[in-house]
Amino acid sequence: MAITNHLENFCPKTVEAFVQKAEALTPTLIQKTVFPVSLGTVFWLDDDWVYQKKEPIAALNGKSFGKGERICVDFGDHRVGYLSFTLSSIGSPPDAPAYLRLKFGEKPCEIGEESENYQGSISSSWIQEETLHVDVLPASVRLPRRYAFRYLEILIKDTSPKYRVTFSDIRCETVTSADIRNVSPLDLKDADLIDMDRISIKTMEDCMQSVFEDGPKRDRRLWIGDLRLQALANYRTFQNYDLVKRCLYLFAGLTQNRGRVGACLFLEPKPMVDDTALFDYSLFFVSCLFDYYKETGDRETLLELWDTAYRQIELSSERIGEHGVVLDSDDWWCFLDWNDELNKQAGAQAVFLYTLKQARYLAEEIGDADRLHRIDTSLLWLAKGAKEVLWDETEGFFVSGTKRQISWASQVWFVLAGVFEKSQNQALLRRLLEKRPKVGMVTPYMYHHFIEALFCCEMRKEAIDQMKRYWGGMVKEGADCFYEIYDPDRKDFSPYGSKIIHSYCHAWSGTPTYFIRKYVIP
């Protein structure tokens, strides 16, 4: 399956007033200077790359390096920011430029693997690696690009036989729009959950930049599926309502053909919508607005953005087939998860029902009787389609696509859509946990929905156990932030063909703090 879905005759539309409103909400970034803590090496141990500390960073003073030598430093935690250092020489006056290769890694694998061997489906230009000529020494070197990393390796590709280089004052100016002072302390005794809360907050913090980025290493942009989860976690932690509002206005101000909300936006050189369109992601504009309104009561924003939200319902309705079931197709029309085997039809139907209910609430709140009526008609029609076509009484599961696939994602989303009563939903989730269908969940994004479904069905113990198994698995691996992709049963899994291209600080993975603060603490 192709992972790009470009709209034909892409024709973006801008509502200038919305974009201006969004731009007026651009946050000031908080900066901090941080330094590396140790010198070490990266090597292959058992089945993964690891970093091993050799000396404290102070040992760098007095060390000099020549052709083919390298240093590797650890910044002690995940960092997002700008690197600088002083490069000097010892020996004869430098008679040739210093030639360096720098590698930045959120994880040691990005340092250990040779990037020339990368064959993945996503552009290799995301690999955080640079070569640099420094003509005049000593030099203050500041790299213009922002990096997301904990480890930095510098290989001295060449100096000259007559001189060696020294490094001093290696530092990183970190940036974020998240103010950690707004996060209240957690009153909890469970050490595993405390770790998860801390790491999710760090993940959130590093992804909160001029917008809610999906990942500060990759894709460094505003995806609406990620935004929805980030906003939920943000309401329980940083409470930066303006940043959510800014993102909502950007999506509404920069739509695709026929007013469709795009799957993601680029921010530079100026905000613009991408030509990727995804069924579930467009509908999540409704969810983002619903959650924001419930949280803030900001009626002015609701009234201004309601038309954009309702437009997503109208456009999605065009995909409903004759039996009240969303039409399936072979392209990348709907996201749900990065599992290639997953058939999206049932999950998409459930997402539609889920967002229609939120739209219904908003229509009632606004007093939009005409749209309320249409929403009710669609709700009935889609619920009927779900029960009559997608529900398989013999299997006890929702099925998807012509091959009647039974997946975790379909069941989870139908629980969230609330097609059945709570007791039936509980039974469905218990059956899911017991029968464990083969087509599983591979991203923290999909796991988020699974945990949410368990909490909604008051299956608190199961929810916490699953969180400990899933995010807890990353904690055990020594994660500084939570990852974009994680499959506890297939540690090598990559939808992109290589793990070095993964983002290891990914917003959609940062929701344990939301669960803990919403459902676990009283």
Q: What is the 3-state secondary structure of 391-432?
A: EECCCCEECECCCCECEHHHHHHHHHHCCCCHHHHHHHHHHH
Residue 147 Cβ vs ligand RAM, minimum distance, rounded to whole Å: 18
To the nearest 10 degrees (0 to 180), the angle between helices 191-207 and 224-236 is 120
Amino acid letter at 328? D
How far apart CA 313 and CA 45 sit, in angstroms, is 51
Residue 308 Cβ vs ligand RAM, minimum distance, rounded to whole Å: 19
Collapsing DSSP to helix, strand or coil, 36 comes out as coil
Nearer to ligand RAM by Cβ, of 391 and 413: the residue is 413
Residue 123 Cβ vs ligand RAM, minimum distance, rounded to whole Å: 11
Nearer to ligand RAM by Cβ, of 105 and 225: the residue is 225
Residue with tokens 């969810």: 287
CA angle 23/25/29 to nearest 5° reads 100
Backbone angles phi, psi at 98, to 5 degrees: -85, 135
Beta-carbon-side half-sphere exposure of residue 162 (alpha carbons within 13 Å): 6
Beta strands 13-14 and 38-45: pairing type?
A: unpaired
Query: What's the alpha-carbon Rg for the chain, to the nearest Å?
Result: 25
Nearer to ligand RAM by Cβ, of 81 and 225: the residue is 225
From residue 416, give the alpha-carbon distance in Å to each of 132, 216, 230, 409, 426.
51, 30, 18, 11, 11
Residue 475 Cβ vs ligand RAM, minimum distance, rounded to whole Å: 21
Residue 392 Cβ vs ligand RAM, minimum distance, rounded to whole Å: 29
How far apart CA 343 and CA 406 sit, in angstroms, is 9
How far apart CA 439 and CA 409 sit, in angstroms, is 8
Q: Burial of 116 by CB count in 10 Å (0-12 exposed, 13-18 middle, 19+ buried)?
A: exposed
Nearer to ligand RAM by Cβ, of 156 and 227: the residue is 227
Residue 408 Cβ vs ligand RAM, minimum distance, rounded to whole Å: 18
Nearer to ligand RAM by Cβ, of 445 and 455: the residue is 445
Nearer to ligand RAM by Cβ, of 167 and 483: the residue is 483
Nearer to ligand RAM by Cβ, of 87 and 109: the residue is 109
Residue 218 Cβ vs ligand RAM, minimum distance, rounded to whole Å: 7
Give the binding site for ligand RAM (CB under 6 A). Answer: 214, 219, 223, 225-226, 335, 484, 508
Residue 107 Cβ vs ligand RAM, minimum distance, rounded to whole Å: 16
Nearer to ligand RAM by Cβ, of 19 and 336: the residue is 336
